[in-house]
């Protein structure tokens, strides 16, 4: 089936994927898909319904009645809707971060979201961000990037983000949350986090956002395979 250009950006928490993916999408006029937000929305629903994530039958039933969508607000920020309710802020709560990593180990959830992500990508050119975009969801993507940074830098950035959304946590707490999620995301059986063999790896520890965007744009422009 014909599809548009797909650019994948994977990497661990706090490496700067979201900021970079949004910037690249804006530069190229492509749409942007935050797949972490999808796992977070599912985690929020599981939390609210108090579902045991080991109960696969319950999870499947829940997924059948779950609708996740995205909309842009007047400032062009993406808002996340769960069954038509705006959950953009709620899905960023620390307990939902942890639960989203747990939920992401479940095959039934990954299968459901992979299908959704592929359907969304059929609509046109897209920059898609997550953990398994270039490896398992879009192995034939046109451009693949893997963004990384040191643990302390990622924790520093994540803490600032959380503070901006009114959530105050110590640097130690953020570090331990990130470390725990990294381990689980990398070691799970289903679509674990690792760079695709053909991904360009960028370490953003000592890079400004502008420099990182330039690096990515240069790779894309030199690629000349923007069909």
Which residues bind to ligand DC, rule: CB under 6 A?
A: 13, 35-36, 39-40, 100-101, 104, 130-133, 181, 185
Q: Which is nearer to ligand DC, 112 or 214 (CB)?
A: 112
CB of 124 to ligand DC, least distance (A): 20
Burial of 155-167, coded b for 16+ CB within 10 Å and e otherwise, reads bebbbeebeeeee
In angstroms, what CA-CA distances link 158 with 116, 168, 171, 217, 218?
27, 11, 9, 24, 27
CB of 91 to ligand DC, least distance (A): 8
The residues, ordered by sequence, that sit 6+ positions from 47 with a Cβ below 8 Å of its Cβ are: 95, 96, 99
Q: Which is nearer to ligand DC, 131 or 159 (CB)?
A: 131
Nearest-angstrom CA–CA distance, 112 and 38: 10
Q: Which is nearer to ligand DC, 128 or 216 (CB)?
A: 128
Q: Which is nearer to ligand DC, 152 or 218 (CB)?
A: 152
The Cα angle at residue 169 between residues 86 and 22, in degrees rounded to 5: 45
Q: Which is nearer to ligand DC, 116 or 213 (CB)?
A: 116
CB of 130 to ligand DC, least distance (A): 2
CB of 95 to ligand DC, least distance (A): 12
CB of 224 to ligand DC, least distance (A): 28
Nearest-angstrom CA–CA distance, 66 and 178: 27
């Amino acid at each position: 089936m014909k599809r548009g250009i797909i650019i994948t950006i994977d990497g661990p928490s706090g490496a700067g994927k979201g900021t970079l993916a949004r910037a690249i999408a804006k530069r190229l006029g492509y749409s942007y898909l935050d797949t972490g937000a999808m796992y977070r929305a599912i985690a929020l629903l599981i939390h609210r319904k108090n579902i045991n994530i080991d109960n696969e039958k319950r999870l499947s039933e829940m997924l059948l009645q779950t609708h996740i969508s995205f909309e842009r607000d007047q400032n062009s920020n993406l808002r996340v809707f769960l069954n038509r309710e705006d959950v953009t802020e709620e899905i960023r709560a620390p307990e939902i971060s942890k639960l989203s990593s747990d939920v992401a180990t479940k095959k039934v959830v990954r299968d459901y979201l992979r299908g959704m992500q592929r359907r969304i990508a059929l609509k046109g050119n897209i920059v898609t961000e997550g953990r398994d975009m270039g490896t398992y969801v879009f192995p034939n993507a046109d451009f693949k990037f893997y963004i990384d940074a040191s643990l302390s830098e990622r924790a520093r950035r994540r803490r600032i983000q959380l503070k901006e959304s009114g959530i105050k946590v110590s640097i130690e707490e953020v570090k331990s949350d990130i470390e725990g999620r990294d381990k689980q995301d990398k070691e799970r059986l289903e679509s674990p986090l690792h760079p695709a063999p053909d991904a360009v790896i960028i370490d953003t520890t000592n890079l400004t956002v502008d420099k990182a965007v330039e690096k990515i744009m240069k790779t894309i422009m030199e690629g000349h395979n923007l069909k």
